[in-house]
């Protein structure tokens, strides 16, 4: 069961990430003849202290995703949901100072962030449901959407 769960998670995350990156024009065509393509992401200017704060938040988001995966691997759906809501979901917005940071973001970056936070909250709910019903696919779909929003944002934007 755990191997099946891991395989499903990887397939969902990989397909969502590839689709999002391709949607933003970042296709992997294999070898680039030894040279990396120019970074075409939109550069977003944040005040230095907010840039550091935002980068620290993104590292924490990545750590939260790792911890969610660990909880899923252990079969602890409630813990996975708690981590998602507290660190990534809509509940986390105040903790991360989202209102202050959002005013420096282009609209697309704001929309990607909102999509990520909403998908994480959906995952938290679906993870709780899965703990009761055993039906994990809706939770994994919401987790894939959460990660796809991250991938899409990082594919399209970078802080300067």
Q: Are 68 and 84 in contact (CB under 8 A)?
A: yes
Instruction: Tell me the CATH class for 2-17+48-159.
Output: mainly alpha
Closest among 12, 139, 42 to 83, alpha carbons compared: 139
Q: Side-chain half-sphere of 158: how many Cα atoms within 13 Å?
A: 6
Q: What is the CA radius of gyration of the chain?
A: 16
Alpha-carbon gap, residue 123 to 145, rounded angstroms:
9
Least confident stretch, 35-39, 44-48, 98-102, 142-146: 35-39
* Boundaries of every domain in the chain: 2-17+48-159
Q: Side-chain half-sphere of 80: how many Cα atoms within 13 Å?
A: 26
Contacts 24+ apart (CB under 8 A), 96-99: 96/57, 97/53
pLDDT at 160: 82
pLDDT in tens, 16-75: 444 444 444 444 444 455 677 889 999 999 999 999 999 999 999 999 999 999 999 999
pLDDT at 81 over 50: yes
Alpha-carbon gap, residue 73 to 70, rounded angstroms:
5
């Amino acid at each position: 069961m755990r191997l099946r769960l891991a395989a499903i998670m990887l397939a969902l995350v990989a397909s969502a990430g590839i689709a999002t990156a391709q949607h933003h024009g970042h296709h992997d065509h294999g070898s680039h003849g030894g040279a990396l393509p120019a970074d075409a992401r939109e550069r977003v200017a944040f005040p230095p202290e907010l840039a550091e704060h935002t980068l620290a938040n993104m590292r924490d988001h990545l750590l939260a995703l790792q911890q969610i995966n660990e909880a899923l691997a252990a079969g602890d759906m409630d813990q996975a949901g708690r981590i998602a809501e507290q660190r990534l979901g809509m509940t986390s917005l105040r903790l991360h100072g989202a209102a202050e940071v959002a005013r420096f973001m282009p609209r697309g970056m704001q929309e990607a962030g909102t999509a990520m936070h909403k998908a994480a909250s959906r995952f938290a709910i679906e993870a709780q449901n899965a703990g009761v019903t055993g039906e994990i696919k809706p939770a994994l779909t919401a987790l894939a959407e959460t990660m796809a929003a991250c991938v899409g944002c990082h594919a399209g934007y970078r802080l300067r």
